[in-house]
Copies of this chain bind each other. A is one copy, B any other.
Amino acid sequence: MRETETPDHLITAAASAYAYPLLVKQLLVNSLSVRADQEITYRGELRYTFAAFHRRVGQLANALASLGVRAGSTVAVMDWDTHRYLESYFAIPMMGATIFTVNVRISAQQIAYTLNDARADVLIVNSEFLPVLEAIRGELKHVREVIVASDDTPMPSTSFAIAGEYEQLVSSMPEDFAFEDFDENTRAAIFYTTGTTGDPKGVCYSHRQIVLHTLATATTLCSPRTGQRLHRDDVYMPITPMFHVLAWGMPYIAVMLGLKIVLPGRYQPDTLLHLKKTERVTFSHCVPTILQMLLDAAARDAHDLSGWTMIIGGSALSPSMCRAALEQGIDVFAGYGMSETGPVAALSQFAPDVATAGIDESVRKRCMTGRPVPMVELRVVDAQMNDVPRDGRAQGEIVLRSPYLTPGYHNKPEASEALWEGGYLHTQDVAVMTPDGYVQIVDRIKDVIKTGGEWVSSIEIEALINELHGVEESAVIGVQDERWGERPKALIVLRPHATLDAQAVRAHLLGHADAKRISRYAVPEAERVIFVAAIPKTSVGKIDKKLLRQRFE
């Protein structure tokens, strides 16, 4: 080996060379250069250009600085989808502070918990949410300043000392603010996930993560030849609340690409459909419930939904809803991710040969969980972290690596370690994978039944049982078994006057096993098929399997 003066594998930088950190502010640079006249509108009522947006970001930063916000501060936002939210997405992180996007749909108690846990010291709050804040006032430990945002509605009376009204405060400020450079690993945002158990957990996003998520997701979304894609002439309107996982990263992508942005305020089907028409919206994303609302409203009032590209996430897109949306001319497809993953991990964009394969195959593929996006290493693994065969049948947990996964929960070291066990982020989603990289989630890992060395999806067995005439609903859980580790136990609620016995259920399932649609291990023994009057549900209406497992332990 030869000797060298300096290690040859690192590059010597000039002293004056700019070490470009990946910061949120840089997502704005190109749009300001090439699309400064592009529009941003709040409900079609307020309208300004990207150039004006940039000036308002400077004004908001000055307003926040005047209230003591500094690098390291946390500013919480409670608002509907407004131009104010978009300004906050940029101004707050660009100051080196953290934007805390408060989930306004959780309970007041949970909001209090998250505001305290995040140590939010300044609050930007839509006046509609003042009563909620009022209710938890005594519990808030860190909030120093409250800015109220009001759309000309009468301001509710409040006992908070208000620092000012958002618009008045911002518009009175100077436009220039010196946004300094800092470490790209600086925290830019925090959002709380609410699992079924325990306190909400804070998920943090750094500037580096946000920028890389923006670039990788934009590349994926823009790359198809045609269909299920985003392009520079699209008009973007979020229909996933902007408090939620930074609205899937889409507002940052829309700003980077210089798209026209339409902010719809509170989600009301009529307003959304009106804006779709008047502002010529072409690209949105939402949960299935909202899509159904839009389809219903459109059917009622004969709205034209064609030319709308829509990513569906949050929960599974059903084939029937997908078909209904396609019939309305919506280019609809599923996306996969969670708060911890940035969020976009996979998108159900077509493989090259799907587009021409007919409507049934199109619907089937659009409803799948998706295919991983560039830079994301998505594995489906067994309990020993070995990849399961990519045969569309073998089940395993989805584990991930990507440049924008959260490195851990805020102040929850044990949960953080569990999330990252073995160096991969554990999604707790159980899935199968096809040879061409399509992923399909079949269950949550805590609900999957591990029996005889195989993983059996409880949801899959339930669906098969529900096919039987006379079944109202069913729940399948794993119960401990000395020989097999676990065995499935099926609880079945019959419709009035229906007759069905355990042997008939077994015979039905064994038929599916013979046809290789499920494993034989998935068929419960007759004594583990029981008929019940009702199945317990959680507060959001899901089957409470945790309770069932406790009951049958």
Q: Residues on A close to B: CB < 8 A? A: 1-2, 4, 7-20, 22, 26-27, 29-30, 33-37, 70-74, 96-98, 119, 121, 142, 182-183, 185-187, 204, 206, 211-212, 215-216, 218-219, 222-226, 230-234, 256-257, 351-352, 371-378, 401-403, 405-408, 410-411, 413, 416-417, 419-425, 435-437
Contacts and interface: CB of A to CB of B under 8 A. Distances in A.
Name the 10 nearest CB pairs between A and B, nearest first: A13-B407, A34-B437, A14-B416, A222-B222, A17-B407, A14-B408, A16-B420, A215-B215, A225-B231, A9-B72
Given A223-B218, A225-B233, A16 B423 contact: yes
Nearest to A419: B14
A18 B375 contact: no
Contacts of A19: 407
Given A223-B231, A233-B225, A374-B256, A119 B72 contact: no
Given A30-B375, A215-B219, A375-B26, A186 B10 contact: yes
Contacts of A9: 71-72, 96-98, 182, 186-187
20 contacts: A2-B142, A8-B187, A9-B72, A11-B185, A12-B410, A12-B416, A13-B407, A13-B416, A14-B407, A14-B417, A16-B420, A18-B401, A18-B420, A26-B377, A27-B375, A29-B376, A30-B374, A35-B437, A36-B435, A225-B234
Nearest to A9: B72
A231 B230 CA distance: 12
A316 B27 CA distance: 29
Contacts of A182: 9
Contact of A8 (B74, B351, B373): B74
Contacts of A219: 215, 218-219, 222, 256-257
A52 B376 CA distance: 21
A7 B73 CA distance: 10
A417 B15 contact: yes
Instruction: From A183, A222, A225, A234, name the one whose CB has the most chain B CB atoms within 10 angstroms.
Output: A222
Contact of A206 (B11, B185, B222): B11
B11 A204 contact: yes
A218 B36 CA distance: 22
A418 to B, nearest CB: 9
Contacts of A424: 18
Contacts of A121: 2
Nearest to A403: B20
